[in-house]
Amino acid sequence: MTPINMLKSFSAQWPILPCVAIVVFVLYKLSVARNKSSLPLPPGPRPLPLLGNVLQFPTQNLGRGFRDLSEKYGDVVHLRVLGQSIILIGSYEAACDILEKRSANYSDRPSSAMVELTDLDWVFVFKSYGPEWRKYRRVMHNAFTPDAIARYWPVQLQTTRELLHNLLTSPANFSAHIHFSFAATVLRTVYGLDISPGDDKYYQLIERLGLITANIATPGQHSVEAFPSLRYLPSWLPGMGFKKQAAVWREESAAVRDSLYKSAKETMVRTGVKESILTMMTEKYAEEDLVRNLTATIYSSSADTTNASTHALILALAMHPEVQRKAQAELDNVVGPDRLPEFSDRDALPYVNAIVKEIVRWHAVAPVGGAHRSEADDEYNGYFIPAKSIIIPNQWAMSRDPAHYPNPDAFNPDRFLSNGKLNPNVRDPATFVFGFGRRICPGRHFAEATLFIICASILHTMNIGPALDENGVPKKLEMKTNGLAVERPKPFECRFTARNAHMEELVFASET
């Protein structure tokens, strides 16, 4: 629910309007009183009394909406929404200055009534900055160093080759195959659990957790986020449906986390210990809660975001056969006709690597990134940033910066190449799509490696094209997303066919 829709819905719910009016008035007076600096706030649209900039807050396509505000007011924009200062960061340079160079002041997360109501502060991305967060971050970092992820390559290769087999066997079900492949990869990597084709129990668990966290992380979905005091009102009042929803999500999310951890422990007893992130963490850290919380966080976030990127990759390739042909020529030259790609081929495949860079730029999975919060008053370029401001980096706008990515809406891997090599002078989108400062995604190296091996393996063995209508005419493909904090492409249809009979034999032989 967007801020505007919240207000519209409240207008029909008169019993709580007096409470809301009082809350808004108090927040507004407190926020005005808090700005004691002689410096001006960053530029932004003129706020209305009480409501602030609710009417200027985008109701959909947040990345594009915030970009429009930045184009009008500058790289750093101030909004006041119902008494809360919000700072929009519209450029990479400003994001680095504020969130990287001053990370000690900008590593906290904004408080969230829905996170508190659902008890989801055990999820690492929601956890407040402090000693416990730093401990969790250190453990996560150790699990995903470049050296550590090399241990997971055999599992990634196995599940990727099973994916190739499934794509050629039943291509119409490609989306389900991709979902299963990631579930199998991350489940084995994180928990040491193996699943058989058709066993979607674990995937359904993590899919549910991913949807819950994405919904809570998306701005404007719940009225209680704008008016936290609503949580103290009786649940029978109109507009209190979020309480029932939060109770359901609290039970579901804890059940998913605990079920996965219990299954892994029971499997170790029955079949023996398999190397995994869980076993690595258990050996080094005795705290069961930490291990249980972090493994569930890794499983849900890895499967959710990389799933979204892979679907976007398939869609982009189906829309651009010329990109497929260029990649296949490179793969034929480097890998050859008699084997499948390996991780060791990565450095010799600059065009395939350019495709991976372009997909994470072209489809920014988290368009506005994770919100940060300033702990203390600050100054930037002569402007005052109040303590407890919500800081939103517009990663979508950074991915569409024409100064670095000419014709930014086009899918064009060549933009990252010069003379057949990756061009170090072109900004790598990995420097912003995975977040900033101490809140940067620990699993970014794992995600990029996963996208590489899937992209190389599929393009080496098969062609991707649009689905055909009843007259044999290719259907039009376009990118449409769900609009949540983790943007997934909406369902689409496409075809997978082996490049030739020899490649088909290679795919099916790889599973024996």
| Numbered residues of the known binding site for heme | 441
Beta strands 390-393 and 84-89: pairing type? parallel
Look up residue 127 and give its two tokens.
Answer: 């956890």
Rounded Cα–Cα distance for residues 209 and 187 (Å): 14
For residue 449, give the nearest of 349, 367, 312, 314 by alpha carbon: 349
Per-position b or e across 190-210, b if 16+ CB within 10 A of its CB = bbbbebeeeeeebbebbbbbb
Is residue 464 within a helix (H) or strand (E), and if so which, with residue range? Answer: strand 462-466
User: What is the spatial distance between Cα 499 and Cα 487, in angstroms, rounded to a whole number?
Assistant: 31
What amino acid is encoded at 36 in this protein? Answer: K
Contact between residue 331 and residue 456 where contact means Cβ atoms under 8 Å apart:
yes
Both tokens of residue 264? 């892994």
Q: Which of 465, 407, 453, 401 is nearest to 431 (CA)?
A: 401
Query: Residue 141, Cβ neighbours under 10 Å: how many?
Result: 13
CA distance 486 to 207: 12
Work out whether strand 378-380 and strand 417-418 pair parallel, antiparallel, or are unpaired.
Answer: unpaired
Is 369 within 8 Å of 305 (Cβ atoms)? no
* Contact predicate 245/251, CB 8 Å: no
At position 171, the amino acid (one-letter code) is P
With b for 16 or more beta-carbon neighbours within 10 A and e for fewer, the 42-71 pattern comes to bebbebeeebbbbebbbeeebbebbbebbe
Residues 444 and 450: beta-carbon distance below 8 Å: no
Q: Which residues are part of a known binding site?
A: 441
Asked if 340 contacts 161 with a C-beta cutoff of 8 angstroms, the reply is yes
Count other Cβ atoms within 10 Å, centred on residue 28. Answer: 19
**Three-state SS for 494?**
strand
Distance CA 329, CA 108 (A): 47
Q: What share of the chain is helix, strand, coil (3-state, %, to 5)?
A: 60, 10, 35
Structure tokens at 418: 């010069």
The helix/strand/coil state of 320 is coil
CB-CB contact of 368 with 390 (8 Å): no
Backbone dihedral angles phi then psi of residue 451, each to the nearest 5 degrees: -65, -40
CB within 8 Å of 58: residues ≥ 6 apart: 64, 65, 66
